[in-house]
Structure formats: C-alpha cells, structure tokens
C-alpha cells in the first residue's frame, strides 16, 4: 500500500503482575503459555507491532486467552499498556506516542478518533438509559451540547443499523442481543471515528443475526471508509471481513499477512493446526 | 454556669480538622473534600453535615439563623437551633440580614446575602455523577479528568423523556469553570443566587462525609444545552396571597374546604418582612 498507516503500534506489551527474577528478562523467561509458573505474572500481550491502513479491515484471530481483548482494551485505553508505543496519523498527534499522553488527552483521542464495540454489550452501553441517550453520550463526550443535533445524528445512525426509530427511546436492556450489538455499533460510529475496534461482535448471536451484523459492518466500512480492527476466534468472520489478518497465541503475534494467504497457506505450525482443524 | 459540653459541642481538635477541610474546600471551589464525619446527637440524614460545618466555624459573636424548606419554625430547624444555642449561647435570629451564619436545607433565602455572611447548606447527596457511576473511585477519576458526560447525559435523558430537563431540585452547576457540583436540593429558582454570591457558601454532607464550597464572587453556571436553556420554576401570573410577591419562590397551598388553590412565599420570614414593610419587592401590597 502507498498510504501512510493511520495507526501504528510498536512493541506493545501488557503485563498483569510484578514479575520475578525468573521472568523479568525477556530473553531468559520460561513461560507456561502466557504466565510465569514461579510468580503467576501474566504476560497477556508481548512485543506486538502492526500497522493499520486507511479504509482497511485488519483481522485478529486466536484462541481463548491469547490476548485479543486485552490488546483492544489497551488500544482504547480501558487498560494501560505496560510497554510499547502507539502512533496515530492525525494532525493533532503527529509523531506523538499516544500511550505517553495524559489520561485527559487519551480521553480526547478516544472521544474524537476512536470507536469501540465490546464483546459484551453491558460494557459498551448503559443498559438503563435510552438507546438515543447512549449514542448521545459519545457525542457529549466529544463536546456536543446541542440536543437537536445529537438527536438527528442518533436517529440517522439507528436507522443505518436498522433499529426502528419508534424504539429509539427504549433502553437497550429490553432489546435482543443482536439489537444491542447494533446499538453499540451506532454509538461507536456517532463521532464518525476514522478508526473502529470491534471485539467479537457476533459471538453468541444466532447465525442469521450474525450474518446481518457482519453485512452491516461491511456496508459501513464501504460507505464510510473507516479503518477497522476486527477481533474474532471465528475464522469465518475473519475470512468474510478482513483484508489482512494477524494470528495471536499466548500473547504474541505468530503469523500475519493477507487473509487469503494466512488461511490458504499458513506458515506457522499452530496456524496450520487452527486452519485445518476448522476446514 | 457550667457547660455540659465544649463550646460548640466538639473538642478543639475536631473543630480544627473540620476547619482545615473547609479551608481546602474554599481553595478548590466545587471540589468535594472528604472529612471524618462525626456522630451527632441528631440522626444522620437530618443535617449533620451542615451542623458540623456550623459548629466548626461558629464563634461567640456570631448570630445564627436556621431554616428548613424556607421555614424557621420547622421541627428540624428548631432542633438544630436548640443544640447550637445550648452549646454556644450565641444569638439566634430569624432575620436574614441580621444573621452571620445561615444554615439551610432546601432553600437559599430570598433576601440577597451580603459580604461577611456564611450560608451553610445541608447536603444529602453530594455526588452529581452518582446515578451514572456507582463507584466512588471512578467518580473521583471523572472529576479529576473533568469528564462530565454523565451529568450532561442525565439532562439529555430527561429532555428525551419529558421534553425538558425536569430536575425538580439539585440541578447540577459548573463551579469556576472547573468542577461540576450538586448544589444540594435547592429549587432551580435558587441556583442563580450562587453565582457571584457575596456570601461564602459551604456545603456539608454528613452521611457521605464530604464538605465543599463556593467562595464569594465565584462563577456558578447551571448546566444547560445550547438549544434548551436553563429555566427556573415558573409561577406564571401567581402572587403570594399574603405579601403579593411575584418575584419569590411560591408554595402551592390547597384549601380543601373551599376547594381553592392559593400561593404563598416559601421563605416565611421574607414574606413577613414584606407584609411589615421592612423590605420591599416586586408586587408589594400596600397595607397603609
Ligand atoms: N485483569 C486481569 N488480570 C490478570 N490477568 C488478566 C486480566 N485480564 C486478562 N487477563 C489474562 O490475560 C490473558 C488474555 O486474556 P484476553 O481476555 O485478552 O483473551 P482473549 O484472546 O480476548 O480471549 P477470548 O477469546 O476468550 O475473549 C488471559 O490469560 C487472561 O486470563
Ligand atoms: Mg476476548
Ligand atoms: Zn515470574
Ligand atoms: Zn409572601
């Protein structure tokens, strides 16, 4: 690709725990899967580097516990990365390591440049507030103070994700799982973020509902040109959505490339096992 | 005369600690400062926060007025006055202008407070973000990062549901352009009295163990969206049936016998002063 990456991650690391003499040094540490058997410290994300290009969908696939959600949460600042750098190609933040900014500045990045759809809708939505209110929350956080305008944007987006407008004042707790995910998507899109993170958006949904949500994501990506990172342990989802794919295992990226290549001709032994067992 | 207690009930150490909390609160307008709220001879939730503030700042020369819902004579106000009077011997008054300390629940007096006076407000729920965020740890972070989306969201929800913000009382305010603060359950009608108030305003929450303050001449703005300006309770064309006031906060009183509704000043002392011609205002009735 000729474009500059819109997002660039270098050597991201997320460690839960303090470490011990056995695991402090990267070269000598002997982990069991992703944790140190001596002190129990979890190395949830290790040495993760990648780039995301404008308008691209990057897939992340990996088994349960491989660190996918932790990575997303570090990128959205729900968790603090314990190492590494994050760069965003945006005039306000050129050349600045976003991880090193103050919490207030990170909030600013999140409110204006990023959107997130959580694996669990209760994390992304206030279940006791109206659906339109949930969308407005993100707009308010981005500085909007005009009710009429927020209502207009909210209605437009609810319509786009196929929530009937006569239900816009209902609370998401009264909606089905698929509808809740669609409200989450509408909320994440409300500030027209150039970058959107989607963590297992279709997990737990009926197959037919899954298909409609995936369709929606594809349409949004085409129409709005948003760059996305799509996390899933479902290869079918990755195959349908992602241009490029990274495979994670025990907190590390073990293989990355064009989705077709990774899925048709995997190089790493683990990826081969993953792909062939599912075919 | 032998006193049963220390002057103003507390020992000097306790008063000192509360005063230090108050000084910190004044230095950071609108910021809730934690303090070790003490057991009081009245139940928590009945103004113990305000009472502790009053007792910590009161001196022999002070003149105290206590009101509850606009009335000097309610049981709660009377109990507080008795306790302070018994432990300090200070002069108690009903005259707003005469008081140096005014402790109040649910109202700011109609008569404009002036420099040198202290208004002590009793606060049941000091955290304006509590209904959107249950964790105290989190609300602390939100205040620190000036992240007040939650407060705005509550107003947005009200507009969606009722077509307007319907905070009956305790409509949140921005203090000195930095902290969002719960002004205590005063009607919206009273919010503007906090803006550039000449009097020092101290707010005490006993159960929640917080003290916060609005120093004199501080900017206090009620939260409002661009297209839904802040409005106060409106009594349309009604006037007080006693003093004729059209510029005060009125209570609706229903006379079941006559099947009639009439209006009366909520601030009973202010109403009386107007009837007696001591002070003047809009809509005065001449009894001459
Ligand atoms: N707060 C935490 N404290 C300690 N360990 C944690 C914490 N959060 C996550 N982990 C650990 O980090 C590792 C990665 O977890 P993560 O949730 O990122 O995996 P995942 O790839 O998203 O899995 P899944 O497919 O099940 O969603 C796991 O070993 C998990 O136990
Ligand atoms: Mg996960
Ligand atoms: Zn260790
Ligand atoms: Zn009157």
B62 with B128, same domain: the answer is yes
Examine residue B5 and state whether it is found in any structural domain, yes or no.
Answer: no
Q: What is the mean pLDDT of residues A252-273?
A: 94
Which atom in ligand 1 lies closest to the alpha carbon of residue A14?
A: 12
Bridge partners of A48? Answer: A12
Place B167 in a pLDDT band, splitting at 50, 70 and 90: confident
User: CB A137 to CB B157 under 8 A?
Assistant: no
Beta-carbon count within 10 A of A125 CB:
24
- pLDDT tens digits, one per residue of B112-143: 999 999 999 999 999 999 999 999 999 999 99
Q: Inform me whether the pLDDT recorded for B193 exceeds 50.
A: yes
**Hey, what long-range contacts does B14-22 have (CB within 8 A, 24 or more apart)?**
B14/B38, B14/B56, B15/B55, B15/B56, B18/B52, B18/B53, B18/B55, B18/B56, B18/B211, B19/B56, B19/B57, B21/B211, B22/B53, B22/B56, B22/B57, B22/B202, B22/B211, B22/B213
**DSSP collapsed to 3 states, A149-189:** HHHHHHHHHHHHCCCCHHHCCCCHHHCCHHHHHHHHHHHHH
B78 with B158, same domain: the answer is yes
Examine residue B288 and state whether it is found in any structural domain, yes or no.
Answer: no
- Report the C-alpha gap between B74 and B172 in whole angstroms: 27
| For ligand 1, mutation pick of A13, A36, A39, A44 (most atoms within 8 Å of CB) | A44
pLDDT at B15: 95
Which atom in ligand 1 lies closest to the alpha carbon of residue A62?
A: 21
B183 with B260, same domain: the answer is no
- For residue B246, the CA-to-ligand 4 centroid distance in Å is 9
Pull the structure tokens for residue B208: 């929640």
Examine the fold and report which residue of B201, B222, B243 is the final residue of a domain before the chain moves on: B222
This prediction has a pTM of 0.90
User: CB B161 to CB A132 under 8 A?
Assistant: no
CB A73 less than 6 A from any atom of ligand 1: no
pLDDT at B92: 97
B144 with B265, same domain: the answer is no
- For residue B230, the CA-to-ligand 4 centroid distance in Å is 25
The residue nearest atom 11 of ligand 1, judged by CA position, is A44
Give the helix/strand (H/E) hosting A113.
Answer: helix A103-113
Q: Is A222 on the interface with B (CB under 8 A)?
A: no
Pull the structure tokens for residue A264: 């048709």
Locus of tokens 């969308």: A135
Examine residue B136 and state whether it is found in any structural domain, yes or no.
Answer: yes
- Report the C-alpha gap between A11 and B202 in whole angstroms: 51
Sheet containing A195-199: which strands, arranged edge to edge?
A114-117, A195-199, A227-232, A57-62, A244-249, A252-258
Q: Where are the domains of chain A?
A: 1-113+194-279, 118-192
B32 with B145, same domain: the answer is yes
Examine residue B3 and state whether it is found in any structural domain, yes or no.
Answer: no
Pull the structure tokens for residue A87: 């760069």
B116 with B181, same domain: the answer is yes
B168 with B239, same domain: the answer is no
Q: What is the mean pLDDT of residues A154-182?
A: 95
Name the residues of B annotated as catalytic: 30, 240, 243, 265, 271
Place B4 in a pLDDT band, splitting at 50, 70 and 90: low
Examine residue B243 and state whether it is found in any structural domain, yes or no.
Answer: yes
Task: State whether residue B129 is helix, strand or coil.
Answer: coil
Mean pLDDT, chain B, whole residue set: 92
Nearest to A113, CA basis, from A137, A87, A134: A87
B204 with B246, same domain: the answer is no
Give the environment of ion ligand 4: residues with CB less than 5 A: B 240, 242-243, 245, 265, 271
In this structure, which ligand is nearest to the CA of A34? Answer: 1
Q: Inform me whether the pLDDT recorded for A104 exceeds 50.
A: yes
Nearest to A138, CA basis, from A167, A112, A102, A105: A112
On whether the CB atoms of residues B179 and B27 are closer than 8 A, the answer is no
> How many domains, chain B?
2
**Chain A residues with beta carbon closer than 8 angstroms to that of B132:** 126
pLDDT at B5: 62
Q: Inform me whether the pLDDT recorded for B287 exceeds 90.
A: no
- pLDDT tens digits, one per residue of A46-66: 999 999 999 999 999 999 999
Please give the share of chain B, as a percent, with pLDDT higher than 70.
97
Q: What is the mean pLDDT of residues A123-127?
A: 95
**Chain A residues with beta carbon closer than 8 angstroms to that of B161:** 130, 169
Examine residue B1 and state whether it is found in any structural domain, yes or no.
Answer: no
CB A231 less than 6 A from any atom of ligand 1: no
- pLDDT tens digits, one per residue of B258-278: 888 899 999 999 999 999 988
Please give the share of chain A, as a percent, with pLDDT higher than 70.
99
User: Which CATH number covers residue B198?
Assistant: 3.40.50.11310
- Among candidates A103, A136, A169 on the partner chain, residue whose Cβ is nearest the Cβ of B145: A103
Pull the structure tokens for residue A73: 């949460």
B107 or A27, which is more confident: B107
Please give the share of chain B, as a percent, with pLDDT higher than 90.
81
pLDDT at B288: 47
**Chain A residues with beta carbon closer than 8 angstroms to that of B152:** 140, 145
B268 with B189, same domain: the answer is no
- pLDDT tens digits, one per residue of A178-202: 999 999 999 999 999 999 999 999 8
Q: Is B255 on the interface with A (CB under 8 A)?
A: no
Q: What is the mean pLDDT of residues A154-161?
A: 94
B239 with B173, same domain: the answer is no
pLDDT at B31: 98
pLDDT at A266: 92
CB A70 less than 6 A from any atom of ligand 1: yes
Examine residue B227 and state whether it is found in any structural domain, yes or no.
Answer: no
pLDDT at B1: 47
Bridge partners of B205? Answer: B210
The residue nearest atom 19 of ligand 1, judged by CA position, is A65
Q: Inform me whether the pLDDT recorded for B105 exceeds 70.
A: yes
CB A277 less than 6 A from any atom of ligand 1: no
Domain A1-113+194-279 - what CATH class?
A: alpha beta
B161 with B27, same domain: the answer is yes
- For residue A179, the CA-to-ligand 1 centroid distance in Å is 26
Q: What does the DSSP 8-state code read for residue A98?
A: G
Domain range for B164? 12-222
B127 with B63, same domain: the answer is yes
Report the residue of chain B nearest A137, measured CA to CA: B153
Q: What does the DSSP 8-state code read for residue B228?
A: B
């Amino acid at each position: 690709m000729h474009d500059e990456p819109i997002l660039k991650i270098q050597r991201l690391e997320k460690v839960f725990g303090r470490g011990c003499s056995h695991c402090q040094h990267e070269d000598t540490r002997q982990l069991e899967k992703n944790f140190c058997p001596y002190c129990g410290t979890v190395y949830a994300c290790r040495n993760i580097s990648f780039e995301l290009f404008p308008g691209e969908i990057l897939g992340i696939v990996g088994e349960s516990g491989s660190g996918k959600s932790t990575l997303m949460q570090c990128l959205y600042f729900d968790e603090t990365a314990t190492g590494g750098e994050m760069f965003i190609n945006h005039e306000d933040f050129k050349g600045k390591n976003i991880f090193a900014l103050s919490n207030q500045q990170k909030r600013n990045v999140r409110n204006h440049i990023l959107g997130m759809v959580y694996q669990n809708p209760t994390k992304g939505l206030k279940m006791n507030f109206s659906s339109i209110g949930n969308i407005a929350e993100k707009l308010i956080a981005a500085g909007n103070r005009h009710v009429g305008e927020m209502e207009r944007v909210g209605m437009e987006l609810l319509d786009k994700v196929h929530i009937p407008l006569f239900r816009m004042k209902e609370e998401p707790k009264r909606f089905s799982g698929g509808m809740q995910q669609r409200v989450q998507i509408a909320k994440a899109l409300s500030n027209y973020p150039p970058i959107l993170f989607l963590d297992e958006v279709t997990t737990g949904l009926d197959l037919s509902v899954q298909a409609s949500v995936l369709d929606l994501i594809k349409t949004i990506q085409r129409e709005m040109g948003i760059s996305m990172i799509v996390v899933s342990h479902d290869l079918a989802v990755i195959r349908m959505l992602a241009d490029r794919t990274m495979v994670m295992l025990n907190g590390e990226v073990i293989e990355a490339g064009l989705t077709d290549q990774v899925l048709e001709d995997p190089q790493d032994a683990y990826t081969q096992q993953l792909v062939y067992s599912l075919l | 005369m032998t006193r049963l207690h220390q002057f103003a009930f507390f020992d000097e150490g306790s008063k000192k600690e509360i005063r230090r909390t108050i000084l910190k609160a004044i230095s950071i307008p609108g910021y809730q400062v934690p303090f070790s709220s003490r057991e009081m001879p009245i139940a928590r939730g009945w103004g113990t926060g305000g009472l502790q503030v009053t007792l910590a700042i009161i001196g022999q020369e002070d003149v105290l007025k206590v009101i509850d819902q606009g009335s000097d004579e309610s049981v709660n106000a009377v109990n507080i006055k008795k306790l302070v009077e018994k432990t300090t011997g200070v002069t108690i008054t009903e005259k707003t202008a005469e008081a140096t300390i005014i402790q109040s629940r649910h109202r700011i007096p109609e008569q404009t407070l002036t420099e040198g006076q202290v208004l002590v407000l009793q606060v049941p729920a000091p955290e304006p973000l509590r209904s959107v965020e249950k964790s105290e740890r989190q609300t602390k972070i939100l205040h620190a990062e000036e992240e007040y989306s939650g407060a705005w969201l509550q107003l947005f929800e009200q507009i969606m549901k009722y077509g307007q913000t319907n905070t009956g009382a305790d409509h949140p305010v921005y203090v000195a352009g930095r902290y969002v603060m719960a002004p205590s359950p005063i009607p919206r009608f009273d919010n503007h009295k906090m803006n550039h108030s000449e009097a020092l305003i101290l707010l005490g929450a006993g159960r929640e163990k917080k003290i916060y303050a609005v120093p004199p001449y501080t900017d206090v703005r009620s939260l409002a969206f661009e297209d839904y300006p802040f409005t106060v309770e409106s009594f349309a064309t009604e006037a007080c049936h006693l003093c004729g006031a059209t510029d005060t906060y009125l209570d609706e009183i229903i006379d079941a016998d006559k099947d009639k509704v009439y209006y009366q000043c909520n601030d009973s002392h202010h109403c009386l002063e107007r009837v007696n011609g001591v002070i003047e205002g809009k809509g005065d009735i001449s009894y001459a």
